[in-house]
């Protein structure tokens, strides 16, 4: 073989950047070396050791006059690392990657001179295969490093962002979305431990079998039944404070809101403050994707460490400002919120409507059906308010006992009256059921608005109270406004 051929071989292979290009150049060079002699270039599939031939198909062995099967080739490669194997009917030259046979060249007759050239050519090919594999490994490593850097930057950004989010649901939704994006998860939820009962409560969710259920949970319009703190994967993580990665093939999946259906792996990491877990972050992926690995679990653990403090602070703030029974804001929060919204309305000349709501004859409900039924009514009315009001804009408050208040920013008196009437009619139409008892309740509503009341904004609460008293005096189950409006 001329020296020019070897120079050409090196120059040709130096431009190769992919396995497909390498295979094409190898076929060309083999053709130049062998002339018109038939040959088969083949590779070994790593997982099952099957052989794939190029450019011929396995059936063409017979057309070459070779009495050989794939198992004979595989046996020859696995039994020896010789550079050259020859029998009476065929010649086999293997290709190596780090001293492991990955394929080779198969042909029938061979002259000694050509044989030596082919052995050298295969060594050249093996060197370039090693080079391509190294380039591929380096590229994968660089990709992993870039991905890890991006993930870390994302976690740092989210850690800064959550410190400015006061609403617990908004904050948890932001954390869950970030977690799903970071590890390419298809479903997930965040559970927090109830301080009073110790049970685990789903606060936000994504990817539930029923998308509407997730939306209702995230807006507080649907409350899932709490789960025991010492059961299931969430209980294990909460009690141990250690992250868990489960694979479907390991048979360790557990039913939680149907979240494991269609997932091939799940991760659950604790939310912790001062070495004590107060919640968990759960993420699952899809069956058509690769299972989660320790890398993804480490990413979630880092995210949890960054955001846990902010989540805990928001959780404690929510406990301090939220009525335990109804989940609405407390009167103390209302006082501050009314002052804030009043200043904004007055400064920017915007409308602000205030509703005061009272459940009619609530004492009779307690006396007739018991205080548990009365609590159920309070929670049901609160849920009606959350359902009908604008999320993150309007504010619903339990003032105490059976009295509620609603703040409607950017809403004039007529708009507020429409909202109030909608609330009143829906409560009236609802049939409450509790412990096999079915009953109905009604509410009275008084409202006023700035600037329609033509008085100081500080008088909003007093005027709304007066309107409520008038609604009760006129027979209850009605809406009265100040100034007076009618349907």
CATH for 331-482? 3.30.70.270
pTM value is 0.59
At 121 the pLDDT is 66
As given in the structure block, the two tokens for residue 228 are 């025991």
| Closest C-alpha to 38, from 111, 110, 120, 108 | 108
Domains of the chain by residue range: 3-136, 163-313, 331-482
Residue 55 gets which letter from DSSP? S
Q: Residue 372 corresponds to which tokens in the numbers above? A: 């548990």
What pLDDT score does 96 carry? 61
pLDDT on residue 66 = 44
pLDDT, position 466: 94
Which sequence positions are flagged as catalytic?
A: 402
**CA-CA distance, 218 to 278, in Å (whole number)?**
19
Domain 163-313: top CATH class:
alpha beta
CA 126 to chain centre: 44
Residues 6+ apart with CB under 8 A from 219: 169, 386, 391
DSSP string, 396-425: EEEEETTEEEEEEET--HHHHHHHHHHHHH
Q: For residue 151, how many other CB atoms are within 10 A of its CB? A: 20
Instruction: Indicate the DSSP class of residue 270.
Output: E
Helix (H) or strand (E) holding 372: helix 371-388
| Residue bearing tokens 């600037």 | 451
In whole angstroms, what is the distance from residue 317 CA to residue 167 CA? Answer: 9
Q: What pLDDT does 478 receive?
A: 95
CA dihedral 145, 147, 150, 151 (to 10 degrees): -110
Low-confidence ranges of the chain (pLDDT < 70): 1-27, 30-122, 124-152, 159, 162-166, 249-262, 287-288, 454, 485-487
Q: Does domain 3-136 have CATH number 3.30.450.40?
A: yes
Asked whether the domain spanning 163-313 has the same topology as the one spanning 3-136, the reply is: yes
pLDDT at 477: 96
């Amino acid at each position: 073989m001329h020296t020019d051929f070897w120079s050409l071989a090196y120059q040709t292979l130096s431009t190769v950047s992919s396995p497909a290009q390498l295979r094409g150049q190898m076929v060309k060079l083999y053709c130049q070396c062998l002339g018109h002699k038939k040959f088969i270039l083949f590779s070994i599939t790593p997982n099952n050791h099957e052989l794939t031939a190029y450019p011929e198909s396995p059936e063409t062995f017979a057309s070459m006059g070779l009495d050989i099967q794939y198992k004979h080739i595989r046996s020859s490669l696995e039994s020896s690392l010789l550079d050259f194997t020859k029998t009476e009917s065929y010649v086999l030259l293997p290709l190596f990657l780090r001293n492991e046979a990955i394929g080779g060249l198969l042909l029938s007759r061979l002259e000694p001179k050509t044989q030596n050239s082919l052995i050298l050519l295969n060594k050249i090919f093996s060197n370039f295969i090693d080079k391509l594999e190294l380039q591929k490994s380096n590229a994968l490593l660089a990709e992993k490093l870039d991905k890890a850097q991006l993930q870390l930057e994302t976690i740092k950004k989210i850690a800064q962002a959550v410190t400015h989010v006061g609403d617990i649901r908004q904050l948890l939704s932001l954390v869950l979305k970030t977690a799903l994006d970071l590890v390419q998860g298809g479903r997930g939820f965040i559970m927090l431990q109830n301080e009073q009962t110790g049970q685990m409560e789903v606060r936000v969710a994504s990817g539930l079998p029923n998308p509407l259920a997730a939306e209702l949970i995230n807006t507080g319009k649907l409350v899932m039944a709490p789960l025991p703190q010492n059961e299931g994967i969430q209980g294990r993580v909460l009690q141990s404070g250690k992250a868990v990665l489960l694979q479907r093939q390991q048979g360790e999946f557990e039913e939680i809101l149907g979240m494991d259906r269609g997932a091939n792996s799940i991760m659950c990491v604790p939310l912790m403050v001062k070495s004590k877990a107060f919640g968990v972050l759960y993420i699952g992926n899809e069956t058509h994707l690769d299972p989660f690995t320790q890398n993804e679990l480490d990413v979630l653990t880092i995210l949890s460490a960054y955001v846990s403090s902010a989540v805990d602070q928001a959780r404690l703030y929510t406990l301090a400002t939220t009525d335990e029974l109804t989940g609405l804001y407390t009167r103390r929060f209302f006082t501050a919120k009314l002052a804030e919204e009043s200043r904004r309305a007055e400064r920017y000349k915007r409308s602000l409507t205030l509703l005061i709501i009272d459940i009619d004859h609530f004492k009779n409900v307690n006396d007739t059906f018991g205080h548990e039924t009365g609590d159920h009514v309070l929670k049901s009315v609160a849920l009606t308010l959350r359902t009908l009001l604008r999320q993150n804009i309007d504010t619903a408050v339990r003032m105490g006992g059976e009295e509620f208040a609603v703040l409607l920013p950017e809403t004039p008196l007529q708009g507020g009256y429409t909202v109030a009437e909608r609330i009143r009619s829906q409560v009236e139409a609802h049939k409450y059921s509790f412990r096999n008892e079915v009953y109905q309740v009604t509410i009275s509503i008084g409202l006023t608005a700035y600037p329609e009341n033509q008085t100081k904004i500080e008088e909003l609460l007093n005027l709304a109270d007066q309107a409520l008293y008038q609604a009760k005096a006129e027979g209850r189950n009605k809406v009265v406004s100040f100034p007076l409006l009618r349907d």
